[in-house]
Amino acid sequence: MSELNQRALAALGELAEEPVEQTGPTSAFVYVDISSIDRETKTITEAKDLTLSQAPSRAKQRLRAGDVLVSMTRPNLNAVALVPEQLDGAIGSTGFHVLRSRWLRPDFLLRLVQSQRFVDEMSALVQGALYPAVRPKDIAAFTFTFETPAQQTRIVAKLEELLSDLDAGVAELKAAQKKLAHYRQSLLKAAVEGALTAAWRAKNTPSETGAQLLERILTERRARWEAKQRAKFAEQGKTPPKDWQKKYPEPVQPDTTDLPELPEGWVWASVEQLASESSYGTSVKCSYESNGTPVLRIPNVSSGGLDLRDIKFSTVNLGIDRSDALDVGDVLVIRTNGSIRLVGRAAAVVTNLPQPHFFASYLLRLRCVETTSVHRWILAVLTAPAGRQWLEERAASSAGQHNISLSTLHTMPIPLPPLIEQSFALTEIQDNNEAIGKQEDAISLSLKQSAAQRQNILRAAFAGELVPQDPSDEPASVLLERIRAERAAQAVLKKPRGRKVKSA
């Protein structure tokens, strides 16, 4: 960087604060808010067509093509974008700081506000906990090395050259990610429909069919209920009344109408038939600091397994015994959430937990009778495409929340193969998922490296290291001084004259 350019240090407020009309809409309009921006591509992808009566209170700023929008909320997410020609005249949210300049190219400015230094400096200035945001004056105070328009053009051209190649590589990596996610779903679909084990069935004849397994589970289910009832009578010092076994609540049978034909040896069962118990969790307040029982919450129900890294503890004694605590064979299901994709997401307890754990009220617990593999099989069915469709079609919605009730979940049909076939299918799923996971980890690492390379390129660009200066250009420092002089002169002209005080 030349000595002259080292002194050409400017603030965004000096060069990118042309006035933006704050008149808002007067008729039907196109609205751009923070949710309209794709943070990955830094483009406006979801502008909204609204009538005047639908105008939010934040719909104030009349945008021009070439404006650079910077979200003031959660600047660490870097929701920034350039207003394209087709959105000239759109109305922007006041949640944006609009950068408009005669001296900075819009594409140069857009790249500048994507730099890590900008993101870091803005993130360090956020105010507010629930709605963390920076102020317009914080953005305006950001300093950078000013370049002449000609040098800006050269920098942008070089950035486009380098970043377009990088973007192409990132697009390929993300496409590979999607293919792997699709393969996971295809694997589950093949498993719960029987295609994954078709070759296995052709060579093997299980000693117990799916129907016989279901009958054995139902027998054990009833035996457990009767044992609990006898224990209650004994605790109360009562003799069991006549025909008390007839009060056994029979589990709901699956509705097989329009269900596909199952492979030989399989049978349809309901969730309730396979679970000896099912229940809601506790609504007791929990915190990180308390020393009560560990309580699993929605964040602990990850994709298929339990994540025990972020645990809260009950603030009071829950009074649970070992039989109440989560145990191997339990399946936890998210029953309510703002995202329909999370409702019904489940995790199975497959190993002993280090100490007794309970679960929160936003979760449901299914306690399976047969714990060899049935709990993991139910999890596979819940996660497979057909299971997700069944859950999402039956989830009730209210006030932005989606909910699957326990009674509804009980009726969910489960295709039940023989136990030995379940184990074979689940092993195949696990082995393939481990291989997929390794590929996903490699892709994630490559994406992180690409993001770091992007920032290295941007840092070099705005440090004057990417493109050499053209000695025939006017020095940036000279141009900057002229701009400052022009701004100072305009400020004097705009300064209101004071009134003369009349003498008495």
pLDDT digits (tens, 9 = 90+) for 334-346: 999 988 988 998 8
Give dist(CA 222, CA 208) in Å, integer: 20
Please determine, looking at this structure, whether the domain spanning 3-148+474-492 carries the CATH number 3.90.220.20.
yes
In this structure, are residues 83 and 110 in contact, taking their beta carbons and an 8 Å threshold?
no
Is a pLDDT exceeding 60 seen at residue 6? no
CA nearest to 466, candidates 457, 476, 475: 457
CA nearest to 339, candidates 402, 404, 405, 409: 402
- Three-state SS for 479? helix
Mean pLDDT of 120-140: 92
pLDDT tier for residue 352 given thresholds of 50, 70 and 90: confident
Residue with tokens 């105070």: 141
Name the residue ranges covered by the structural domains of the chain.
3-148+474-492, 207-417
Most confident of 5-19, 376-390, 488-502: 376-390
Please determine whether the domains at 3-148+474-492 and 207-417 fall in the same fold group of CATH. yes
pLDDT averaged over every residue in the chain = 92
Token pair for 176: 């590979």
Note the pLDDT of residue 389.
95
Note the pLDDT of residue 399.
83
Is a pLDDT exceeding 90 seen at residue 5? no
pLDDT digits (tens, 9 = 90+) for 247-297: 999 999 999 999 999 999 999 999 999 999 999 999 999 999 888 999 999
Mean pLDDT of 122-143: 92
List the beta strands (DSSP E) in 445-491: none
Note the pLDDT of residue 498.
56
Give dist(CA 200, CA 428) in Å, integer: 11
Residue with tokens 């950068």: 99
Note the pLDDT of residue 504.
47
pLDDT digits (tens, 9 = 90+) for 392-441: 999 999 888 999 999 999 999 999 999 999 999 999 999 999 999 999 99
CATH code that applies to domain 207-417: 3.90.220.20
